[in-house]
Amino acid sequence: MARNRHNIGFMALDVIAIRHGFSPWRQRFKGHVAEGIVGGQKVLALKPMTYMNASGEAVQAAAGFFKIPASDITVFHDELDLAPGKIRVKKGGGAAGHNGLRSMDQHLGTADYWRVRLGIGHPGDKARVLGYVLGDFAKPDMDWLLPALDAVADSAALLAGQKAEDFMTRVALLTNDQKDGV
């Protein structure tokens, strides 16, 4: 389960936490929580341990306790509509069929949070989506997955500073350098 496509957001948080020396993960707010400093900003990383469809419960609990406004929340999630390894950031928007985002919207009462959309690609046939999303990454996927996760962690300070465009540019440069062997 840890290496399936639906968990790419958790994978990104794990790499960020390691790279930036976060505290150990501990259980809290219906999830696992780690704290650290990224780009001079105090960051609380939360991996909801509810079902994906109820992940907003954990986020709402943590945001309420720490009085974190939705505009300061960043969600890392899998994105079928982006090619594998492509990463996009946007603020707000619809759930686009993603049940985790739908739960966030319901529990936060707004869609005004940041989304880091981590491309996993589409299996090509709508009937195969569920099995694909819940399936594990294959060994060839590591060629794009590991560089993408490293680029996200290396660029996290820009994201913490809410410099989404700079973050996406840096991630693109880092992942293109990996592909080109530079």
Active site residues: 6
Residue ranges of domains in the chain:
5-180
Q: Which tokens go with 12?
A: 């990104």
Q: What string of pLDDT tens digits covers the 182 residues of the chain? A: 578 898 999 999 999 999 999 999 999 999 999 999 999 999 999 999 987 778 889 999 999 999 999 999 999 999 998 999 999 999 887 767 677 888 888 888 877 899 999 999 999 898 998 899 889 999 999 999 999 999 999 999 999 998 999 999 999 999 985 554 44
Residue type, 129: V
What's residue 35's pLDDT? 96
User: Buried b / exposed e across 77-101, counting CB within 10 Å, b at 16+?
Assistant: bbbbebebbbbbbeeeeeeeebebb
Asked if the 5-180 domain carries CATH number 2.60.120.10, the reply is: no
Helical axes 99-108 vs 55-66, angle rounded to 10°:
40
Q: Which tokens go with 83?
A: 């090619």
User: Cα(158)–Cα(166) distance, rounded to whole angstroms?
Assistant: 7
- Mean residue pLDDT of the chain comes to 89
